[in-house]
C-alpha cells in the first residue's frame, strides 16, 4: 500500500518540530521567519505557498547565532558567516546532515539521492579557477569572421 504524503501547514510543522526537540525561535526583523536548530545545526524557515515551509537560509552550522553557509574551496570545506570563515570538521558535517534528514522527514518533503549521500555545499570556489574567467578575453578563432571582412 502506498504511503500517504504528510504535508502539515507551517504552524503544524513548528509544533511537530518542537515536540521532536528542535529549538524554534522567531527571527528578528523578518515576519513569519523562524530559526530552527538542533545538533548544532540550524536553518531559517518561512511559510510557503505550495509547501508548508521554505528555506530562507539552507541548513548550516549555527555559529554565533548565525547560520553559516558551507563553502567548498576544492581542497577543503569552510563555514562562512558575515564575520569569519573557519574550516569544517567531519563531525559538524554529520550533524548538519542529520539535522537536514530529520527536518525533511518531519516536513514531509521528498528525499533527494545526492543529498542522501552526504552534505552538499552552498558555494563552490576553487582556488585555481576563481577569477580566471575575467582575466583575458577569448582568443579569435580562425573560422570566425573579423570586423573587416
3-state secondary structure 70-139: EEECCCCEEEECCCCEEECCHHHHHHHHHHHHHHHHHHCCCCCHHHHHCCCCCEECCCCCCCCCCCCCCC
Is 106 in contact with 46 (CB distance < 8 Å)? Answer: no
Residue 30 lies in a domain: yes
Q: By residue range, what is the domain housing residue 116?
A: 10-124
Instruction: List, in order, residues 6 or more apart from 71 with CB less than 8 Å away.
Output: 77, 78, 79, 80, 85, 121, 122, 123, 125
Cα 72 off chain centre by: 13
The pLDDT of residue 2: 47
The pLDDT of residue 133: 58
The pLDDT of residue 87: 92
Is 11 in contact with 105 (CB distance < 8 Å)? Answer: no
Instruction: List, in order, residues 6 or more apart from 112 with CB less than 8 Å away.
Output: none
Q: What gap in Å lies between CA 27 and CA 32, rounded to an integer? A: 8
Q: Which stretches of the chain score pLDDT less than 50?
A: 1-2
Indicate the number of domains in the chain.
Answer: 1
Q: What gap in Å lies between CA 131 and CA 124, rounded to an integer? A: 13
- Residue 134 to residues 1, 44, 104, 124, 126, Cα–Cα distance (Å): 56, 34, 39, 17, 15
Residue 143 lies in a domain: no
Residue 144 lies in a domain: no
- Residue 67 to residues 26, 80, 99, 140, 147, Cα–Cα distance (Å): 14, 9, 13, 46, 51
Residue 87 lies in a domain: yes
The pLDDT of residue 1: 44
Residue 40 lies in a domain: yes
Over the stretch 37-54, which tens digit does the pLDDT of each residue have?
998 899 988 887 766 777
Residue 4 lies in a domain: no
Is the pTM higher than 0.85? The answer reads: no
Residue 135 lies in a domain: no
Amino acid at each position: 500500500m502506498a504511503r500517504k504524503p504528510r504535508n502539515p501547514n507551517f504552524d503544524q510543522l513548528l509544533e511537530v518540530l518542537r515536540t521532536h526537540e528542535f529549538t524554534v525561535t522567531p527571527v528578528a526583523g523578518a515576519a513569519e521567519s523562524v530559526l530552527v536548530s538542533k545538533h548544532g545545526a540550524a536553518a531559517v524557515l518561512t511559510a510557503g505557498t505550495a509547501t508548508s515551509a521554505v528555506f530562507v537560509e539552507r541548513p548550516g552550522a549555527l555559529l554565533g547565532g548565525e547560520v553559516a553557509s558551507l563553502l567548498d574551496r576544492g581542497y577543503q570545506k569552510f563555514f562562512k558567516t558575515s564575520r569569519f570563515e573557519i574550516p569544517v570538521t567531519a563531525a559538524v558535517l554529520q550533524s548538519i546532515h542529520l539535522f537536514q534528514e530529520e527536518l525533511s522527514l518531519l516536513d514531509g518533503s521528498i528525499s533527494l539521492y545526492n543529498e542522501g549521500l552526504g552534505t552538499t555545499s552552498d558555494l563552490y570556489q576553487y582556488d585555481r579557477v576563481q577569477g580566471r574567467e575575467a582575466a583575458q578575453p577569448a582568443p579569435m578563432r580562425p573560422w570566425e569572421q573579423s570586423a573587416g571582412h
